[in-house]
Structure 1
Amino acid sequence: MFAEIELIKRTTSLMSKNIKNWALENSPIYKKEKEYFSKEDLENKNIWYVENMREESQPMATSGSTTGNKFKYLRWDRFLKFIEGDNHYDLILEEFKIKKPKVADFSQNAFIKEKSIQKIQTDNFMQHHGFHMEAEVFYVSRTKEYFENQNKFFDEILDFFEENPVDVFLTSGPTINSIVHHLKRRGKFKKITNLLSNTCEYLIKSDAKFLKDNNVIENCCDHMKCWDGGAGFFTCQHGTYHLMDNLSFCKEIDTKLICTDYFSFPSPFVSYWNGDYCKINNNYNRCLCGRAFRPFLFLQNRPFSIKGKCISEFQEKIKKSGINGIKQMKCGVSKIEVVCKWELNKKEKETIISIMSDFEIGFIVEGI
């Protein structure tokens, strides 16, 4: 049984007012009358943390922002399982009827190790895809071969999971795009997972459609939960995007995604823009899954990368320099992987390195 729309409206209004009143009392920066706030309003304030909640919170850092500067905040651990479990990862497993899963973790920040695929024991809830089920986890690591021979690296990954399909394949949009490229190169298609689980980065819809049409995946869930004032959403089994209005309330102002997070008490995010862009219709509809939803289109996750630099600006500078062989950029914790359509010459690589001089750069040839 799902809630009536009028009850949803009353509840979201009450929750929004509750955290706003808390912020006004505990974070004086919110006393300014503004339509929305950005990190520029918050980052230099010594009163950002609610001091008496520090011991129950986990210090976090966001690498990019609306100002181009790194930013720290507190995540209240008391709500971690409720939000990341009951209302995110575990909810997704339940939605797609997955129990005791085998999970492949091919996240963007996988560390470089000797073996590309390892079966691991871990307490990380993301790798178990939640808290309620203990998963069998296969960790996909970037080896040296990842940078030296992309074809061989992805052949090994695809061969393994075609022979050992998993219930959940957790990864991000840029990696999914590379998987699609290498599947097309190989010209053969076998199922690797029941559920493709995309998070952290923008998912190209045509990539997901290609994988489903060729029976490489059975279902796809595009989802995100931003603790630093961004949206929480997931796609249900009918492909509808559901904003998690029970966790935060998002609205759109000039395509900016403005969020009020109900549970960010240690570091309140109220009427806040973290750099994401979207389209939101505020009229609720009823999905085939039974849930009420507001039509939502995610246009671009924050175009700011590590160390607060804007990757889209780098891409524009590279294009203006006359270099046209760049396919995409994958942003890790401390390194940017420049994925190329063909091998760049020495001068082109030097130009890119000089444009992005704050970063360690890796060049990968993926082909067209």
Structure 2
Amino acid sequence: MNKSIVACAIVAMLSGCGGGNNGSDTPAVANSASGPTAKIPATDNVLANQLKSAAIQKAIAKPSSTPYGWWFANYCSEPGQTGFDSCQSSYTSTIGGAPKGWLTYLAANYTPNDPSFGWAAASNYYAMQGAADSYTSPSNGTIPIIGLPMGYSASGNGPGGDLFSAIANGTYDTSIKGSVDAWAKAGYTTLVYRPGWEFNGNWYPWSVQNSTQLTNFIQAFQHMYTVLHNEAKADGVNLYVEWNPNTGGNQAGGTSTWMDWWPGSSYVDIVAIDSYGYPVNAGANVSDAGSSTDYSIIQSINFANTEGMLWSLTETGGDNSDNFITDLGSVLKNNPVQYNSFVGLWNTTQGGGVEWSAGSEASAYYTTFVTDNP
């Protein structure tokens, strides 16, 4: 979903942090004789993925009564803004859980190495804002989920402004490291990063449009993964990286299949998807089986299960007038997730007219993910 808003809060029923891969850039698991699945590089290993996924779940799990259940998420606005706490309070009372996570975006119009408000400086600002808010304080075990751009444009929109080659060449390593350092310095002990989220859309500067960009995107993603994990290890924090396409095909043009976008499971910790119902995507077919050129919710779940990796519905929402939430529950029953994590629910009067009620929507999602699909 195209958003100029930088940060959003996630309400998650989580226990504390810890465990996981402790920021290591390579999973601490043994190789297995089991071979890779079709179209997956030979270096990838399903058993290793399963062990890594189980470790991550322990680090970012719900309370002990349902240790590997779903996170619950809610976007209200940004910490420190008027109405943020009241929105969080309303949502929290509906689902019965305090906010334990926080989804944050570094905007696409931030010049990466700008010392005043580049990737590192912006991360520091938002980390300090979050640390000062009672709902997003690291003392609550809050987990920031950070959208890290892979492009730039003055307007923040795209496509046509990718920084893939420069990222892969290390031009922005200092800024990437500075982002991790900022969150660690603010007291956050577990971080989730989303490099180039929704890269298959046509609304961000890092939208992939041709085969050359695709190759460069893969190299840049792999480089970001390595730098992020190495810096997290140096800072002593847990860090996980999402591969996060939007639902659908390559909306920016080109003929690539969604499997062509995959950087390899050695460079991914969580398989994700963003998918909305009405009013963002009126008439969305949640039960779409998908295809080689159509990255659907079902395709995403099946892929994560095949690879033995965690799955998240990182951004979603809808007022259920088109049965989006109800249909989503049916899809989950028929396509159970092996390693589930979190569901990021957008709920605000900002960002393109997505203005549904916190109470009614939260209640519907609670039924879908807790009552019907615990």
TM-score (norm. length: structure 1): 0.28
Structure richer in strand, relative to its length = 1
Q: Taking CA–CA contacts closer than 8 Å with sequence separation of 6 or more, which of the two structures ends up with the larger relative contact order?
A: 2
